[in-house]
Chains A and B, each alone.
Chain A
């Protein structure tokens, strides 16, 4: 049996014995073969001493058991690392930020406590997956949708607490924003409810977010101040219809007006689905095109060698011959897909309004896109991107394997996800900065990248850094990762989320006024968790006894 750092084996054995009494011996895992399952499958420290490993794992079934575990952990100073399902691959998985912690696996707490069709709300436990919630809703034929990430195999609560994103309307695809009310086991074992849940017998816990007094919910996301054991969510009422419209622009400089107007239309509520973007000239495909490629066994047409040569010569997506080529061949520089959910007549009118607004861009062209009524017809499942219709999928796992054309596929990946302004200027600048970093660290060179549009008022790049089985390669990629964190920060861009390997580094660049924010986090940490038992190091927040040694 491994022992957490700083504990005597005899004390840990005594704690384990008490854990067994509290939750049943069969739910206390100390054998290496069981505990190793909590390693990060995509750890950038694979095979190195720094790889985060757990010393044991506990799988309670109830809030009361969680409270007992916390009290025992306080008694023996056992570091705990709660996870919901630990499926956030690329952001750390189920491995603890502080190696040697005991993973508190909340998968068995998987009850869907309520789904209200009338109010379009849900109340769930940490172990409820997107598939679980989707099944519950589908079996009851409720007219509400979930908003899920892709792949959708993880925890509804866990993804929200990590501030993940999805693919429907803006107020739902920001998963933390879509929550309403929490139940939290505090580090001293006490149980607290937030928002209206603090009012005994409240009828509106999942309907009114803020309750009375300071709204503290945000303190429990990307943090280590408590263990969230219940969480409410707002669901999306099933719309009558969905449609898309495609906007095609011919000039590189058109990206400025395109992004500005798209953002205006979205923030005005005229478009309300997640925008998708691509560049036919640069060979950047949209997310929808990727989904379709997965669904049909037809390789794309060969690319004209002349265009390939132009793309190779382009820097930051720019080469003087590209626009002329596009004009000759009717190939757009930019293609943006706008999406609409709502009554069929209404969204058709919204699309017409978008065309009017975007017509200020010279030469702009429009194409009507997909159109669906609900429930989504089964024949559409092959081509539609299911998460945009509240349907979880594992489809992404069907790609990326070893083949003769890819003899050494990545073992895994780490996501580097800087938030940048929603402007073409920022997109162009970011491409220059990150392409230079890729050259510096001999990483696969970016031709040009378009950001994702999960959030309404910001854009986000999501770059995959390869994780290898080769230690030296991983060292090189980690060095590059640390470097791009710095480069981004120098430009005023910060990551929205990262894995434990990089959480200190990212927190370190959120340094305004001599790290006032981190110092505030630490003040809270010391006050609510004086023994430092919860998720030490998570998101760069260390308890006092470990902070001083660092």
Chain B
């Protein structure tokens, strides 16, 4: 039992950061010009050969959390595929208010992201109101032994080669961007009861990031439900 303020206070110990920005125009401009940092130097393997291939699902934008190098690397990989990126710092209010809410009112468009859990939880529920569902979700939890545990879920069968690709050092966000690029526009949503969900769990290597928050990252794709 803890108070509402203590609940928030306690969880803050694991999560500092999250700039609340500003009026719509300023926030949007800031999100759009935020440069993704391609911190891929030093990775010990090559990138996917089809690094620039556009995604099958016409993603409207990819969200990344600028506090995390892994998330920044994802944004770089998304950009290589021609996907527009949007930057957040923990809090999704501005992207939601300035862009997604008005855009989704016009029509449902798919989005992807590598963020912490909160933005995914929030956007998933807001997306339901626009006929959209999560079609892919992965969690990526760094561990103290410089490894990272990946757990990927999708309604469709996932490629058997995925664990091998994710096990390489550093570049897992690039592989996740490649995986997202392969998601079909006809992909079924992940049902809440997880019936028929294909799950892959594997452990990869990761570089130390001492100055970053220690929250787990989540990769995700939210898309309109395919018409029956």
Contact = CB atoms under 8 A, between A and B. Distances in A.
Interface stretch (A203-211, A227-235, A292-300, A508-516): A292-300
Interface in B21-76: 21-23, 26, 67
Contacts of A382: 19-21
Nearest to A435: B1
Nearest to A278: B5
Nearest to B26: A378
B13 A405 contact: yes
A297 B16 CA distance: 5
A295 B7 CA distance: 17
Contact of A398 (B4, B18, B101, B141): B18
Nearest to B129: A107
Contacts of B119: 397-398
A464 B3 contact: yes
A284 B214 CA distance: 23
Given A87-B125, A397-B121, A437 B1 contact: yes
A386 B94 CA distance: 12
A462 B2 CA distance: 8
Given A131-B101, A394-B93, A443-B1, A401 B215 contact: yes
Chain B contact residues (Cβ within 8 angstroms of A): what range? 35 or more
B184 interface: no
Contact of A378 (B2, B23, B91, B121): B23
Given A297-B16, A404-B142, A398 B1 contact: no
A452 B125 CA distance: 28
A401 B189 contact: no
Interface string A377-407: 0110110001000001111111111111110
A438 interface: yes
A542 B139 CA distance: 43
Contacts of B67: 297
Contacts, number: 181
Nearest to B8: A290
B18 A294 contact: yes
B16 A452 contact: no
Interface residues on A, range: 35 or more
Contacts of B125: 41, 87
A379 B22 CA distance: 7
Interface stretch (A180-188, A359-367, A408-416, A492-500): A408-416
A400 B192 CA distance: 21
Task: Among B4, B122, B191, B213, find the residue whose CB has the most chain A CB atoms closer than 10 A.
Answer: B4
A325 interface: no
Interface-central residue, B5, B143, B192, by most chain A CB under 10 Å? B5
Given A33-B191, A399-B15, A378 B3 contact: no
Contact of A403 (B1, B193, B214): B214
Contact of B192 (A39, A402, A404, A415): A39
Nearest to B12: A293
A10 B2 CA distance: 48
B208 interface: no
Contacts of A379: 22
Given A135-B97, A399-B11, A296 B117 contact: no
Point out which of A107, A398, A415 has the most chain B C-beta atoms below 10 A from its C-beta: A398
A294 B141 contact: no
A403 B216 contact: yes
Contacts of A33: 189, 191-192
B11 A297 contact: no
A480 B1 CA distance: 9
Interface string A34-48: 001101010000000
A484 B67 CA distance: 40
Nearest to B189: A33
Contacts of B117: 400-402, 409
A402 B214 CA distance: 8
Nearest 7 Cβ contacts at the A-B interface: A398-B90, A401-B117, A378-B22, A397-B118, A400-B11, A462-B4, A403-B14
14 contacts: A36-B192, A284-B6, A381-B22, A394-B92, A395-B91, A399-B90, A400-B11, A402-B141, A403-B14, A403-B216, A404-B214, A406-B13, A406-B14, A446-B2
Interface of B: 1-9, 11-23, 26, 67, 90-93, 96-97, 101, 116-119, 121-122, 125-126, 128-129, 139, 141-144, 189, 191-193, 213-216
